């Protein structure tokens, strides 16, 4: 096996390990979202624009500070937020 191919396999294994950790964090986040949803009395409590903007500002700052392209991290966080907003709206109707 070529040296660069072996290094690529090792790098992919590291990515797989990180993905497993991310999955477990998403599982924990989902459980917290489910508990929060039970506390919300009105559907308009699902989207807190001020909080979302604050989160995205902080992610951008952290990304720049840590030399990560903020377009990547902002896209990921927007996707996460959007997915959970959709989830909450769907589940809220069924309460």
Range of the domain at 78: 41-95
**Is 10 buried (19+), middle (13-18) or exposed (0-12) by CB count in 10 A?**
exposed
Q: Note the pLDDT of residue 28.
A: 98
Q: Which long-range contacts (CB under 8 A, 24 or more apart) does 72-81 make?
A: 80/29, 81/52, 81/55
Residues 85 and 46 in one domain: yes
Residues 51-61 have pLDDT tens digits of: 999 999 999 99
Average pLDDT in the 32-60 region? 96
Q: Are residues 25 and 62 in the same domain?
A: no
48 and 33 inside one domain: no
Q: Are residues 52 and 72 in the same domain?
A: yes
Residues 34 and 72 in one domain: no
Tell me the whole-structure pTM to 2 decimals: 0.88
- Which ranges of the chain does DSSP label H, i.e. alpha helix? 3-39, 49-65, 70-92
46 and 86 share a domain?
yes
**Per-residue pLDDT tens over the stretch 60-73:** 999 999 999 999 99
């Amino acid at each position: 096996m070529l040296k660069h191919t072996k290094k690529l396999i090792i790098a992919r294994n590291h990515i797989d390990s990180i993905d497993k950790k991310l999955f477990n964090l998403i599982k924990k986040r989902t459980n917290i979202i489910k508990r929060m949803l039970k506390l919300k009395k009105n559907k308009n409590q699902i989207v807190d624009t001020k909080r979302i903007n604050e989160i995205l500002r902080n992610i951008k700052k952290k990304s720049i500070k840590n030399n990560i392209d903020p377009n990547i991290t902002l896209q990921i966080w927007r996707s996460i937020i959007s997915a959970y907003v959709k989830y909450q709206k769907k589940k809220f109707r069924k309460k």
